[in-house]
Amino acid sequence: AYYLIAPSECSSNLARFDAMRYGLRVGDDGTKSAEDVTALTREAGFGPEVKRRIILGTYALSSGYYDAYYGSAQKVRTLISQDFDKAFEQVDVIVSPTTPTTAFAIGERADDPMAMYLADLCTIPTNLAGNSAMSLPCGLAPEDGLPVGLQIIAPAMKDDRLYKVGAAVEAAFVARWGHPLLEEAPSL
C-alpha cells in the first residue's frame, strides 16, 4: 500500500513543481520557453529515486489502474489506521525498532532500490496511518558500533504525548549510561 500511495502522492505533488514560482530554476536565460525551463529544472533537480517514484505514481494513478492500485491501497491504509486506533484505545504509545538494520554507508544501496525500500519497513505503518512518531537512539549495535533506533508512535495530533514519552525514555537512557549515547558512536 505504501509503495503505491507514496509514489502516487509524489507524482501528484511534484507535477506542480514548474520552476516558475519557487525553488530551483535551470535554463532561464531568456531564450528558452517555459516548458524547456521546467524540463531542464526537473532533469537537474530530481534524482533517480524521485524520478522512479514519479513514474510509479503516474502509472498507479493512470486511467484503468486507479481503482485496481491506488484505490485498493487507500482501503488498506484505512484498515491500518483503524488497527492503530484500536491499539491506542488500550495503550498511550507504541514502541518498535526504527529500522531493521543500522545505517548503511552512503551510496551502498544506491543500485538496489528494494534494499533501500526495506530499510523503511518499520516506519511505513505509522506513516500510512498518519500517526505521530519519533526515533531515539537506544543502544549501539555490537557488529558495527552504530546507533540502533527506538521508534515511539503516538496517535495523530498527540505530539505532546510523544515528546513527553520521548523525553522520559531519553532521560532514562542518559541516567543508565551516564551520558548521551551518541557520545560513544563512531564519527562518520
| Per-residue pLDDT reduced to its tens digit, 16-66 | 777 777 778 899 898 999 889 988 988 888 888 888 888 999 999 988 888
Measured between alpha carbons, how far is 127 from 115 in angstroms, rounded to an integer? 19
Burial of 69 (0-12, 13-18, 19+ CB in 10 A): buried
Same domain, 121 and 156: yes
Res. 187: pLDDT tops 70: no
For the chain, how many structural domains are there in total? Answer: 2
For the ranges 100-104, 119-123, 166-170, 184-188, the lowest mean pLDDT is seen at 184-188
Mean pLDDT rounded to a whole number for the chain: 90
How many other CB atoms are found less than 10 A from the CB of residue 56? Answer: 18
Query: How does residue 185 score in pLDDT terms, banded at 50, 70 and 90?
Result: low
Same domain, 68 and 153: no
Domain that holds residue 17: 1-83
Looking at the DSSP assignment, which residues form a beta bridge with residue 154? 132
Rounded to whole angstroms, what are the CA distances from 25 to 10, 51, 67?
A: 20, 17, 35
Same domain, 96 and 187: yes
Res. 188: pLDDT tops 60: no
The string of pLDDT tens digits covering residues 140-169 is 899 888 889 999 999 999 999 999 999 999
Same domain, 46 and 104: no
Same domain, 112 and 56: no
Measured between alpha carbons, how far is 180 from 140 in angstroms, rounded to an integer? 12
